[in-house]
Amino acid sequence: MSGEHTTTAGRAPGPTAPEGGSRARVLMWCLWDTGTSAYNAVMLTFVFTVYLTSESFGSTEHTSTLLSVAMTVAGVAIAATAPIIGQRSDTPRSRANFLTVNTVVLVACTALAFFARPEPAFLVFGVALVALGSVAQEFATVSYNAMLPALAGPHRMGKVSGWGWGAGYVGGIFALAFVLFGFVTPGFLGIPTAGALNYRSVALFSAAWILVFCLPLMLAARSMPFRAYDGEIHDEAAGTAPLMRTDALPVTPPAPRQRGILGAYAELFRTIAGLWRVSRATVFFLISSAVYRDGLAGIFTFGGVLAAETFGFSLTEVIMFAVAANLIAALGAFVGGALDDAVGPRAVITGSLVGVLLAGSVLLFWSGKPAFWVCGLALCLFVGPAQAASRTYLGRLIPPGRDGEIYGLYATTGRAVSFMAPGLFGLFVSVMGAQIWGVVGIMVVVAAGLLLLLLTPRPPEGFTTAQV
């Protein structure tokens, strides 16, 4: 692997690393997550896909199947190309360009969804836009995550990552609440329902929301701190000389990037092989985090279904729970971020996953709405810090100059196992004959990820940006 660490006697460490970017740039970075959260909460989960799978576009079986196929194709495209996108974004200009272009594509796809009229002829058009938007968002997220190590600095990476996740949860809450009460029920904006104009207008609102909150980072992307292959953090906006990480080791300059798709994949495989030789902890963590992240995603995926069908929540109660769940998850991300910097991300992830397993176990044997409120919110409390700390754990393991490429692998491994939680949820429901037992399937995935994390070797001394 080009750029892997080598030791050289007699070289003194560089000056102390800065605490990353300024507060203003950290805020811009967090606001990007606030903006894209509208796509996840409104377009993908609660509103627009529900509209696309309604009987206005055909039988629910047909519409749901087509949406599933489109999202599967999108997932395969992301899994196959995300590392290459990240690899090509490992320069300041290209990273800014990838973030900006893909965010613009996301905004365009969201806005164009307004023209998906409630007629079967528009089904493919609407579904294709949703799938393409998902791909663009994931590609932009690779560049977004790759900014974290240099932006946060080695000693507050957990706090910044936690604030980013928390800002995303909070943004999703406000965007969803405005859509539900302004466009749907009771619809205080007064938008006509003829031709599903109120539902279609949700797409325009979401596009505007994404653009407004993502625009600051898009404009400042080229001036964000950047970590070079030698460990130096370059901050042109600050007008200072490059500042070395405190634990940076001398490195071999990377070989020139190969052109073409085949050359890019060949370089990717060499990177993975190099990581295996230099720090197997990184490879093991990519695998373990993919497994437990799928289990954590399953909590939000099936939480509303369980609330409505197993615990008897009304639609209003489900919405209230969704708002509370996101608030609790945001709080967990904020607190977990601070703990991350104090005790390390590995401890935060381990404690969070144990908390998820305990809360899930209690939920299996405690019936009634109070049980779901208590245990469901406890589950969400632990999801936030686990997700935020996972991003920082990897950020502390990535060799300098490879941030985009490895965060691309992070996206790929996550997509590769995304079938596990839904599959086991359905399997346990079928075998046990009751929906509540689907929780066991999710817990199995989380437990497997936790076990793999505990078996992950600790990284070699001096390899990380801060103690892991």
The domains located in the chain, with CATH, are 23-455 (1.20.1250.20)
Q: What's the rounded mean pLDDT across residues 36-63? A: 86
Cα(295)–Cα(41) distance, rounded to whole angstroms?
Answer: 19
Res. 459 pLDDT band, cuts 50 70 90: low
How many CA atoms lie less than 13 Å away from 467 in the CB half-sphere? 5
Residues in Cβ contact with 261 at an 8 Å cutoff, skipping those fewer than 6 apart: 84
Is residue 466 very low, low, confident or very high in pLDDT (cuts 50, 70, 90)? Answer: very low
Q: How far apart are CA 150 and CA 154, in angstroms?
A: 8
- Check residue 354 and give its pLDDT: 96
How many angstroms separate the Cα of 357 from the Cα of each of 149, 297, 361, 376?
30, 14, 6, 12
Weakest-pLDDT range from 211-215, 267-271, 434-438:
267-271
Q: Determine the average pLDDT of the residues in 357-365.
A: 91
Tens digit of pLDDT for each residue in 201-234?
A: 999 999 999 999 999 999 999 888 877 665 555 5
The pLDDT assigned to 246 comes to 33
Report for 215-224, 258-267, 429-438: range of highest mean pLDDT: 215-224
Distance in angstroms (rounded) separating the CA atoms of residues 22 and 344? 23
Which of 211-220, 272-281, 292-301 has the highest average model confidence (pLDDT)?
211-220
The listed range with the strongest mean pLDDT (48-62, 178-192, 210-224) is: 210-224
pLDDT beyond 60 at 239: no
Judged against a pLDDT cut of 60, whether residue 7 lies above it is answered with no
| HEC sequence for 210-269 | HHHHHHHHHHHHHHCCEECCCCEEECHHHCCCCEECCCCCCECCCCCCCCCHHHHHHHHH
Per the omega criterion (within 30 degrees of 0), is the bond before 186 cis?
yes
Which residue, 294, 321, 287, is CA-closest to 443?
Answer: 294
Residues 19-30, mean pLDDT to the nearest whole number: 81
Q: Which pTM value belongs to this model?
A: 0.82
Whether 276 has a pLDDT exceeding 90, the answer reads no
Helix, strand or coil for residue 49? helix
The string of pLDDT tens digits covering residues 376-386 is: 899 989 998 99
Name the β-bridge partners of 243: 233
Alpha-carbon distance 238 to 371, whole Å? 52
Residue 3 near residue 402 (C-beta atoms within 8 A): yes
Please tell me the distance from the alpha carbon of residue 393 to that of residue 172, in angstroms, as a whole number: 25
Q: How confident is the model at residue 461 (pLDDT cuts 50, 70, 90)?
A: low
Residue 116 above 50 pLDDT?
yes
Kindly state the average pLDDT of the residues 330-338: 91
Give the whole-angstrom CA distance, residue 229 versus residue 2.
9
Per the prediction, the chain carries an average pLDDT of: 82
Find the range with the poorest average confidence among 5-14, 173-182, 352-361, 448-457. Answer: 5-14
pLDDT at 450: 96
Q: Does pLDDT of 240 surpass 80?
A: no
